Amino acid sequence: TMLARLVLNSSPQVVAVYGTLSDLLSVASSKLGIKATSVYNGKGGLIDDIALIRDDDVLFVCEGEPFIDPQTDSKPPEGLLGFHTDWLTLNVGGRYFTTTRSTLVNKEPDSMLAHMFKDKGVWGNKQDHRGAFLIDRSPEYFEPILNYLRHGQLIVNDGINLLGVLEEARFFGIDSLIEHLEVAIKNSQPPEDHSPISRKEFVRFLLATPTKSELRCQGLNFSGADLSRLDLRYINFKMANLSRCNLAHANLCCANLERADLSGSVLDCANLQGVKMLCSNAEGASLKLCNFEDPSGLKANLEGANLKGVDMEGSQMTGINLRVATLKNAKLKNCNLRGATLAGTDLENCDLSGCDLQEANLRGSNVKGAIFEEMLTPLHMSQSVR
pLDDT digits (tens, 9 = 90+) for 364-381: 999 999 988 765 555 543
- Residues 6+ positions from 189 with CB-CB distance below 8 Å: none
Residue 143 within any structural domain of the chain: yes
Determine how many CB atoms are found less than 10 A away from the CB of residue 376.
14
Residue 135 within any structural domain of the chain: yes
Question: Which of the listed residues 162, 186, 210 is the one where a domain comes to its end?
Answer: 186
Residues 26 and 95 occupy one common structural domain:
no
Name residue 10's amino acid. Answer: S
Q: pLDDT tens for residues 199-229?
A: 998 998 888 877 666 788 999 999 999 999 9
Q: Which residues of 278-314 are buried (b: 16+ CB within 10 A; e: fewer)?
A: bbbbbbbbbbbbbbbbbeeeebbbbbbbbbbbbbbbb
State yes or no: pLDDT of 13 exceeds 80: no
Q: How far apart are CA 122 and CA 129, in angstroms?
A: 19
Residue 25 within any structural domain of the chain: yes
Query: What pLDDT sits at residue 6?
Result: 55
Question: Which of the listed residues 155, 186, 217 is the one where a domain comes to its end?
Answer: 186
Residue 28 within any structural domain of the chain: yes
The SS3 of residue 261 is strand
- The pTM of the full predicted model, rounded to 2 decimals, is 0.51
DSSP codes of every residue in 133-193: EEE-S-HHHHHHHHHHHHHS-----TT--HHHHHHHHHHHT-HHHHHHHHHHHHHHSPPP-
Residue 220 within any structural domain of the chain: no
Cross-strand pairs, 127? 133
Burial of 315 (0-12, 13-18, 19+ CB in 10 A): buried
Residue 203 within any structural domain of the chain: no
Name the strand (E) or helix (H) holding 3: strand 2-8
Q: pLDDT tens for residues 253-305?
A: 999 999 999 999 999 999 999 999 999 999 999 999 999 988 888 899 999 99
Determine how many CB atoms are found less than 10 A away from the CB of residue 334.
18
Q: How far apart are CA 237 and CA 257, in angstroms?
A: 5
Q: Quote the domain boundaries for residue 120.
A: 85-186
Query: What pLDDT sits at residue 309?
Result: 96
Q: How far apart are CA 157 and CA 321, in angstroms?
A: 61
Burial of 266 (0-12, 13-18, 19+ CB in 10 A): buried
Instruction: For residues 309-323, give the mean pLDDT.
Output: 96
CATH number, position 174: 3.30.710.10
Question: Which of the listed residues 136, 161, 186 is the one where a domain comes to its end?
Answer: 186
Query: What pLDDT sits at residue 375?
Result: 55
Question: How many separate domains does the chain show?
Answer: 2
Residue 384 within any structural domain of the chain: no
Radius of gyration of the chain (CA): 39
Residue 247 within any structural domain of the chain: no
Query: What pLDDT sits at residue 124?
Result: 60
Q: Which residues of 123-144 are buried (b: 16+ CB within 10 A; e: fewer)?
A: beeebeebbbbebeebbbbbbb
Cα–chain center distance at 383:
54
